Amino acid sequence: MSGTTRPHARRFSTWTTRRWLRVGVAASLTILTLLGAVGAWVLGQTRSISDELVNEKSPALSVSFRLESALLNQETGIRGYGLTGAPEFLQPYQQGLTEQQTYITRLRELLHGNRARLQDLAVVEERVEAWQEKIALPIAAAPPGSPSPLATERAEEGKKAFDAFRTALSSQQEHLRTDRAQAVEDLSDTMTLRNWVFSTIALVIAALTVLVFEGLRRGITRPLEQLGADARTIAAGTFEHPITPTGPADLRRLSSEIDFMRRRLVRELA
């Protein structure tokens, strides 16, 4: 064991104060840079997930509910117009058509790049178009003033077509809820990681501060204090008192030179 440690000890014993300071500063800066990079990455992840949750996941689910409301307005209007022939029932239908296009366009924007959710939206659009072609458009084209025979003839078919749409929309909304819940969980995990990272950074900074002051005390302050104490003892008349070299190589060299001067003075006095 001693054979493996002595070469390292001899190598470090040649380091001067300047070299110790340079290595210490370089190591501290490297550690702080790495921790800062990790902290920046965690902050970036937190911001990215938060933006995705606020600007994409939550709005997409909200718009999906609004799309459902727009289609329910269409179904209500068409059913009322088909049964009564009253033109005022076409107003919610027309408004629902306008809202439908607006919400579908918005969903495409929010789901851009999400192939699975765009596929869900495509299925919803397909079911809506099937219901409109079979039921809504023919009934809306009937002349006002009297009930449309299609409203009765295609009632069962219309119910099945609209139920198919609602099933597709429910599936889409369930997937959007899952995505949103996953984003919330990811954000929570990332924030926890962020707290740990910055707590670690604070602890490392505190530890480095302690190490720096302790290193300065042991490597510079204490050897200089020892050298000063030895010099004062000699100056008081105890010329045979040796000066013990301690600390980095340059301080030990200085101590050795002063001790050499002491020994020479002792010889001259003798």
Residue 102 near residue 92 (C-beta atoms within 8 A): no
pLDDT at residue 229, rounded to an integer: 83
Instruction: Classify 254 in phi/psi space as left (phi over 0), alpha (psi -120 to 50) or beta.
Output: alpha
| Cα end-to-end distance, the chain, whole Å | 46
Handedness of CA 212, 217, 220, 221 (dihedral sign): positive
Report how far apart, in Å, the C-alpha atoms of 75 and of each of 92, 95, 149, 189 are.
9, 12, 16, 43
Distance CA 262, CA 61 (A): 87
Report how far apart, in Å, the C-alpha atoms of 105 and of each of 122, 172, 182, 217 are.
12, 15, 24, 69
φ/ψ of residue 242, rounded to 5: -80, 155
**pTM reported for the whole predicted model:** 0.70
At which residue do the structure tokens 């851009």 appear?
112
Report how far apart, in Å, the C-alpha atoms of 165 and of each of 121, 128, 136, 236 are.
11, 6, 13, 103
pLDDT at residue 1, rounded to an integer: 44
φ/ψ of residue 154, rounded to 5: -110, 25
Hey, what CATH topology would domain 36-197 get?
Four Helix Bundle (Hemerythrin (Met), subunit A) (1.20.120)
pLDDT at residue 2, rounded to an integer: 46
Residue 100 near residue 71 (C-beta atoms within 8 A): yes
DSSP annotation of 145 reads T
User: Which segments of the chain have a pLDDT < 50?
Assistant: 1-5
Q: Mind listing the pLDDT tens digit for each residue in 126-171? A: 999 999 998 999 988 888 888 888 888 888 888 899 999 999 999 9
At which residue do the structure tokens 């001693």 appear?
2
Handedness of CA 58, 60, 66, 72 (dihedral sign): negative
pLDDT at residue 68, rounded to an integer: 93
Domain borders along the chain are 36-197
Report how far apart, in Å, the C-alpha atoms of 142 and of each of 18, 132, 267, 268 are.
95, 14, 129, 130
pLDDT at residue 10, rounded to an integer: 64
Distance CA 118, CA 123 (A): 9
Non-local CB neighbours of 149 within 8 Å, separated by 6+ positions = none
